[in-house]
Chain A
Amino acid sequence: MRGCRPIALVAALACVAVLGIAAAAVTLDDFGRVLAAIPVVNEARVMAAFGLGLKSSCCGFPVDETYRLLERLAAVSGSAADKEAIVLAIAKAIEQGIPVDSLLNKAFEGLARAVPLEPLGQLLELRLRLLLESRDLFYSRGIFRASPGAAVAAGATALPPSQFDGLLSNFSDALGDYLESGGSPFEAQQIYDEVHARLTQLSGTVLTASDVDLIFSRIEPADLTQVVLTALR
């Protein structure tokens, strides 16, 4: 009988752990509740986007972080429209299959710094456009996010999703930081140098060295001016 006690204890702890994990997992209903607390007008669209995100949570959608951002957003004072603009920027990124980590980081920082919600939403919208334009640039240079079963054209390169997302996120983030630091969108070489420095610094750690080399073998300084100007329009 005494020998059974440790086993029962371990089993009980395992059950508690499993229940705890199950209870902690954020569901679509949780998103619905927190969105109602904000509240948002385009709830159906946002819920659809978060539903999409939850389905792809295996591939990098940061469910918990997104939920915590919405909780914080619901708690701060401000107009519902300004809050919705922030939520929509995240939702649009999910709809487009864009990594949202950098958007979440900026939103968290903005809230921590007590930045007014309207300019915060505008900044996130700009960051989103930079992400989209950067991705289009990657695509135009034959650098793609690999999807199962999709054929890769000759001369094109399909990177594993996590590698592609990491590359895109840091590439676009460097552009956003450059602009926010007061950099001119017309200084092609300077923009290029900033992006080059950022990706090179991360090469071999969070980015694969060959991916970084691939980017700079196919992208010219003038391309970056084009991305930035298009995003600013």
Chain B
Amino acid sequence: MRARVLVVDDDPALAEMLGIVLRSEGFLPSFVADGERALAAFRDTRPDIVLLDLMLPGMSGIDVCRSIRAESGVPIVMLTAKSDTVDVVLGLESGADDYVMKPFKPKELVARMRARLRRGEDVAPELLTIGPPGNQITIDVPAHTVMRDGDEVKLTPLEFDLLVALARKPRQVFTREVLLEQVWGYRHAADTRLVNVHVQRLRAKIEPDPEKPEIILTVRGVGYKAGTG
């Protein structure tokens, strides 16, 4: 099945070029040029992945990202011309899973997209439990659900992947680079802020007190690991 891609970008030339590249790579792209119509287009097309330009007329890319994330866990890859820390972090915090810096190479973009779409392949029954006693969460890997105190915690697919990566090997410390490779699919070290922001987002959802994390622990100077009893 060919993956549907929603491209939200206001530059017609870039959009057309993206269309050529994406079609040649086997995607089914659809396009929307401004932020206000992006949400409606998203509801109409039900894409498997969204490519989103941060700077858009009408509604800003950040707002679009937030409103899509509010109703769906669909992978969102930002296209950004800004390499300023604040903008990238703001984009990631508003719900984007990954970003590609303009000017990007087509192969790089496609690799990023494929990494986000590569899921649901491992369906072996697997039930993971992490966290200290009294504050444990249970992860049902094939069902893509996370339970805490009998309630389901809603996670985006990326947050889920990050959590599973950590939970599969509790006690092992993962460097940010290893996580980037395992979860995001980067083969070369990239921006470790991706990991930082997503760990924070994940903590906000699963930790009782995100300021004092007990389930995902920071190992100073190295990275992160899953907390156990």
Partners in one complex: no
Give chain B's interface residues, CB within 8 Å of chain A.
none
Give chain A's interface residues, CB within 8 Å of chain B.
none
